[in-house]
Amino acid sequence: MDYNFHWRPVFKALPDLLQAALLTLEVAAISMILGVLIGLGLSLIRIHMKGPVMWLASIWVELARNTPALLQLFFFGFGLGAFGIHFSPYLIVLMGLTFNNAGYLAENFRGGFGAVPDTQIRAARSLGMTAFQTYTRIVIPQVLRIVYYPMTNQMVWAVLMSSLGMLVGFRELSGETQFFASRTFRIFEYFAVTAVIYYIIVKIILGASRLLAMRLFRY
């Protein structure tokens, strides 16, 4: 083994990498919030509606779940570009991740809604609650508990998936690493440090979600 590791350039770039890691977290978090909202809508549409709207929601969910995330990203990047619609790399990654998150979360939510018995909804309605009240006070709190763990997983996935941004020119953690690595050719060193940063981010997310769960689901 006559390879000399050079870690100094990596440590010099560390502040930039950490800055990029924040961008990774930001895009993952925003895509997650949007994904939860859209996923909730998609799952409710698939449960309660019929006809074209339901088909569209189903097509969204199945496409998101059954094609590679990278292909979805390419579609938002290059595919829409063919129509003359151009987005910044940030938006491409955000839309790709949101599309994917919404699809996966919709399926989780559907399972969650299925687990709340119909009798509870009818009981709430006969107590005089409106449909909206029934959903926000009876159904959603129970569903949240069921989908909490899958949602945490999806958040981790969103962070890991955002690394695909480096292939569409987005300078989040991976893209930034790629940028530095290609200037110095210290590819291994840079990506090793990046791997460690990702690992730490994932552990922080899991730890935070566990703490939050202890507060949310005390009783």
Rounded Cα distance between 9 and 199, Å, is 21
Of the two residues 65 and 210, which places its CB atom closer to another protein in the complex?
65
Minimum separation from the CB atom of position 137 to another protein (A): 30
Structure tokens at 25: 């977290």
Minimum separation from the CB atom of position 26 to another protein (A): 17
Which residues make up the interface to another protein (CB under 8 A)? Answer: 1, 3, 62-63, 65-71, 74-75, 78-79, 81-83, 156, 160-161, 163-164, 166-167, 174, 187-188, 191-192, 194-195, 198-199, 202-203
Of the two residues 114 and 141, which places its CB atom closer to another protein in the complex?
114
Structure tokens at 210: 């566990």
Instruction: Give the Cβ contact number of residue 38 at 10 Å.
Output: 19
DSSP state of 128: T
Q: Give the helix ranges, DSSP H, for the chain.
A: 8-48, 52-66, 69-74, 89-115, 118-126, 131-133, 140-161, 173-184, 187-216
Of the two residues 94 and 138, which places its CB atom closer to another protein in the complex?
94
Of the two residues 101 and 174, which places its CB atom closer to another protein in the complex?
174
